[in-house]
Structure 1
Amino acid sequence: SGPQDLGTWYLVKDGKVAPVITANSEIPKEALSPAKVLEYKARDGMDLVGYVSIPRDAEGPLPAIAMPHGGPWVRDTLVDPARWDQMLANQGYVVFRPNYRGSLGLGKDYWMAGDNKWGYEMQDDVEDGMQALVDQGIADPDKLAIFGWSYGGYSAMAASTRENPMFNCMVAGAGVSDISRLRGGGFAGNRFLREFQKPTISGKSAINHMENVTKPMLIVHGDYDAIVPVDQSRRFVDRLEAMNADFQYIEIEDMGHSPFELHQNMQWYPALFEFFDTKCGF
């Protein structure tokens, strides 16, 4: 599989290999956008890597969306498992998926460099990758957004509270607004995460820096989320409302941590595209 090949499953039996099914075979490969590796340096000199999906036959600079992965202790590859990169590239947006420090699969030092750096160096890594795309003439510096889910949602919330924010707008799905209240189900059910990883979680909680929020925000959360409780978004939204901030909140009934079902996605996809068009200036 690859950015333009969603994968084929095979059956191996009696020494023979036969294809069983190809994912989304109705979508021609030429309709999908290519992705490439971006190697760049963080502002503190750390070498980083990410992936960039660029709309087919488009010439930059283009509107660009930073899409930091969840976890944060996973990594992105050339293939986005959620396929949001292809969905957004199809709308004409460059999509950047950074492996910020703390990501797995790139060595122990890379992974541990994210310890207790939430909202600080980990956040710098997202912005520094976008700046590299601006410097290369791929991304339009006046049309930048950030969109993420879970830790990526945290990153979008953190971006909203930075002074002199890089992004025109932020989309936070199932985001963590208050690190001190993070008691997700993953810690309860995983001894390694509970005993060894959880002590590495500290940094900037967006809810403590709301005075810096000046950009439009779209916030999405499922009311049945056992990983990042919906209260993380509700409390953040209450503060935004009290500030008379420019935001939209969508709470999806009976949805857990991620929108796996079509009917769940249809409750926020239209709002997502409208948000980019009307609030981000895309």
Structure 2
Amino acid sequence: MPLPLTGRLLRPVGTALLLLACHHAAAADVAAAPAPAPAPAAAAAMPPPAAFFDAAAMSGAKLSPDGRHLALRTAAPGARALLAVVELATLERRAVAQFSDFDVAEFEWVNPRRLVFNTRDWSRPPGEPELNRGLYAVDRDGAKLRVLTEDRHAPPPGPLVKRHLQPAHTYLLGQAGAQDSDRIYVRRAAFNDNTGDFSHWELVQLDTVSGAASRVPRPGPVHEWLLDQDGAPRLALTRQDGRSAVHYLDPAKDAWRQLAEFPAYAYAADSYAPLGFGSGGKLYVRTDAGRDKSAVYSLDPASGKLAAAPLLSLPDYDFDGALVHRNGRLLGLRVLSDAPSMVWLDPDMQAQQRRVDALLPNTVNLVSTAAQADSPWLLVESYSDTEPASFLLFDRASGKLSLLGHSRPAIAPARMAPRQLLRYPARDGLSIPVWLTLPPGATKPLPTVLLVHDGPQRRGADWGWHAEAQFLASRGYAVLQPEYRGGLGFGTRHFRAGARQWGLAMQDDLADGARWAVAQGIADPGRICLAGAGYGGYATLMGLAKEPALFRCGVAWAAITDIGQLYSGRHGVLADTSDDWQRYGMPELVGDPVKDAAQFQATSPLAQAARIRQPLLLAYSGADRRVPLAEGEAFHAAVKAANPQVDWLRYDGEQDDWALAHTRIDFWGRVERFLAKHIGPR
């Protein structure tokens, strides 16, 4: 029986189970603006940039497989992020991994007694080699700490230990695994012998106590591995020459066989993305099955056939989420509609979710359960559009919640700005979703920042607390975040409408959104500024060139300025592009560098720099692998020749997402001053 999500929820109330009962009509092309909130506090008491952009005080929590302990990643102000373990019966907390010169990053339970984690140095720019410090394992009481990968900054190990160290380019898989021994699966990057570029991922089984490792045979150049419900390798996805293939490790024959093959970047109605396995080896996949919106289907690995009906579908969104298991049985799914939420198949978990939501009625409440046991405790991550995430423990016996910690304790939710998902019509009739964040108590029309997400082949945002939008709203600006065509999450038609439309229809969507906001009385027509990073920076610059009367100023960081430059770089293992994407994906979705050379010239900001006369804040970094600093410098020189209102920032070693807290704090402080000068509230 399929589980349809029957409408979109403009203000979530904790769980997607409520979506099943809340049917809304399809969103109108033009929706009414929200009513004003209570009057704002005095400007002098505005939270400083650090409250929004400093490192989170608590940024991760996971139940142990037996549900008796909880691992937390926490950081005191100005201190390194550490790994702590809480004994749930007593709520006693112990730091089990803490370093003076680097931070704990991602972590996972190996088994109920042991954890594995990687480390980063978040005080140094990510372009420096010291950033990635290695992979470690430790018992939950802090004993038996072991280095698992090479780290030239650690004390030299003895000969026996060194023999079992993995190369530095070994990373967590991002999947829990069986959690019933000291062994885990990790992925190791492999490189092309001729070019030195990333080639594929090897899968390695690693003993976290002895350091012994063995490599899993692979069916080709694997770019993704998937473990089954028992934590064993079962699927491998390869990508080569513009084709993707799904390979299944048949347990009966212990041999790989190909389940399917389809174009990696062009649309194919029979393509799918594996999500995970259920009991009995049933495979669940995400596919649109020839429809506009993708959904969750089961697939029989023996025949390769999809089920006739989806397990779960959303009428207004593509499925995006993950499966939730306990003891190899599928309990439910985590789902992203307008906000993340839980859809439970298990009746008991449905009941527990209702109990939690009754205690926290105005927030999204993501409930986690232990992987191997029916634990007395459940972990709850709770947040809303005005409230950053908090982590709580729910006692099933007493029905009480205990607060574990806030991610951003300096933020006062009552002073944050409400957020809505609306829609407006593009000039060709396509309905464009847009996130609107309004300062509490503000009088419209308002100075407005149109914040353009990077990608562009990704979803921009969701309903929740977002630092950039909330920071700008706290300074008195309306914030528009359009989900322009070409982005993911809103159906095949919406995604395919963006093919080869850089600077064209994708750009028109942003201008149409700004004019819609003016017509709705939201935006002051003389005070609209564009802002964004990467592709968002590109769209900012093109918007200033194409619509000088509409956009008063622009803020662009790590902005792409020359489309042709995207086809010439080599980026290495950590970049989000590849040779295969450049050869096959970009011609399909961005354009052909030869056939579309004239279009690239007309839609590259570098060639249009002389047309940009509005105030502009540019920021680039010295270690960005996708947008080289030289590209930014060339554009800066070109635009400065005809525009004296250009401010230039350079952050050495950084990348486009401003990984360091002090970079984020400095940058957004400068953005605040720039906007106040050019479109600031009167």
1:225 partner letter: D
Q: What RMSD in Å do the two structures reach over aligned CA positions?
A: 2.3
2: CA distance, partners of 1:81 / 1:115: 30
Post-superposition shift, 1:160? 2.0
CA contact (8 A) 2:388 2:411 kept: no
For 2:630 and 2:620, the matched residues in 1 are separated by 9
Q: Secondary structure at the match of 1:40?
A: strand
Q: In the TM superposition, what is the alpha-carbon distance from 1:18 to its structure 2 partner? A: 5.8
In 1, the alpha carbon distance for the partners of 2:482 and 2:653 equals 31
Quote the offset at 1:29 in angstroms: 1.3
5 Å-filtered alignment, 1:234-253, equals 234-253=633-652
Letter in 1 for 2:617: L
Match of 1:201 in 2: 590
C-alpha distance in 1 between matches for 2:394 and 2:634: 51
Cα distance between partner residues in 1 of 2:479 and 2:585: 29
| Structure 1: distance between partners of 2:385 and 2:492 | 27
1:153: how far off? 0.7
Equivalenced residue count is 280
**1:110 matched to which residue of 2?**
494
Return the letter of the residue paired with 2:578.
Answer: A
Q: State the distance in 1 between where 2:629 and 2:643 align.
A: 21
Structure 2 equivalent of residue 177 of structure 1: 561
Contact residue 50 and residue 76 of structure 1 kept, 8 A: no
Larger deviation: 65-74 or 262-271?
A: 262-271
In the other structure, the counterpart of 2:533 is 149
CA contact 1:3–1:78 (8 Å) conserved in 2: no
Select the structure of larger CA radius of gyration: 2
CA distance in 1, matches of 2:531, 2:464: 14
Residue matched to 1:216 = 615
- Which of 224-233 and 7-16 deviates more? 7-16
Once residues 519 and 583 of structure 2 are traced to their aligned partners in structure 1, the CA distance between those partners, rounded to angstroms, is 42
Note the C-alpha offset of 1:195. 5.0
Give the fraction of aligned pairs with identical amino acids, expressed as a percent: 27
Query: How much has 1:78 moved relative to structure 2?
Result: 3.6
Taking the aligned partners of 1:172 and 1:136, their CA distance within structure 2 comes to 26
Deviation string for 1:50-82 (max 9, x for gaps)? 100000011200000100111111113344675
Other-structure match for 2:455: 71
Shift of residue 11, structure 1, vs aligned partner: 6.0
Q: Shift in Å at residue 257 of structure 1?
A: 2.1
More deviation in 9-18 or 226-235?
9-18
Secondary structure at 1:171 match in 2: strand
Given that 2:610 and 2:638 are in contact with CA atoms closer than 8 Å, whether structure 1 keeps it comes out as no
Question: Which residue in the other structure is 2:438 paired with?
Answer: 54
The equivalent residue for 2:576 is 186
- In structure 2, relative to structure 1, the CA distance for the partners of 1:166 and 1:80 (3 Å cut) is farther
Contact 2:511 2:543 survives alignment (8 Å): no
Distance 1:13 1:227, change over 3 A: farther
Tell me which residue corresponds to 2:387. 5
Q: CA deviation at 1:244?
A: 4.4
Q: Specify every segment of 5 or more residues in structure 2 that has no aligned partner in the other structure, as ranges.
A: 1-382, 592-599
Question: Does 1:83 pair with 2:436?
Answer: no
| TM-score, scaled relative to structure 1 | 0.91
Select which of 423, 426, 429 maps to 1:39. 423
2:218 aligned residue: none
Q: 2:409 aligns with which of 5, 21, 25?
A: 25
Say if 1:163 and 1:212, in contact at 8 Å, map to a contact too: no
Helix, strand or coil at the partner of 1:49: strand
Q: Distance in 1 between matches of 2:610 and 2:456?
A: 26
Distance 1:220 1:102, change over 3 A: same
Larger helix percent = 1
Give me the whole-angstrom Cα distance separating, in 1, the residues matched to 2:465 and 2:508.
24
2:489 and 2:583 map into 1 onto residues whose CA distance is 21
Give the CA deviation at 1:120. Answer: 1.1
CA-to-aligned-CA distance 1:172-225 (integer Å, 9 cap, x gap): 011000010014632227x5x445431211451111112311111100111111
Q: Return the alpha-carbon distance in structure 2 between the equivalents of residues 269 and 25 of structure 1.
A: 20
Q: 1:13 to 1:238 in 2, by over 3 A?
A: farther
- Deviation of 1:255 (Å): 0.9
Structure 1: any 5+ residue segments left out of the alignment?
none
Q: Is the 8 A contact 1:210 1:239 kept in 2?
A: yes
What SS is found at the alignment partner of 2:434?
strand
Q: TM-score, normalised by structure 2?
A: 0.39
- Residue 46 and residue 256 in structure 1: after superposition, are their counterparts in 2 closer, same or farther (change >3 A)? same
Ranked by relative contact order (alpha carbons within 8 Å, sequence separation 6 or more), the top structure is 1
For residues 21-56 of structure 1, give each alpha carbon's deviation from its aligned partner in whole angstroms, at most 9, with x where no partner exists.
Answer: 322133221111001112110011111111000000
Structure with the higher fraction of residues in strand conformation: 2
Q: Which amino acid aligns with 1:179?
A: I
Question: Contact 2:385 / 2:419 at 8 angstroms: preserved in 1?
Answer: yes
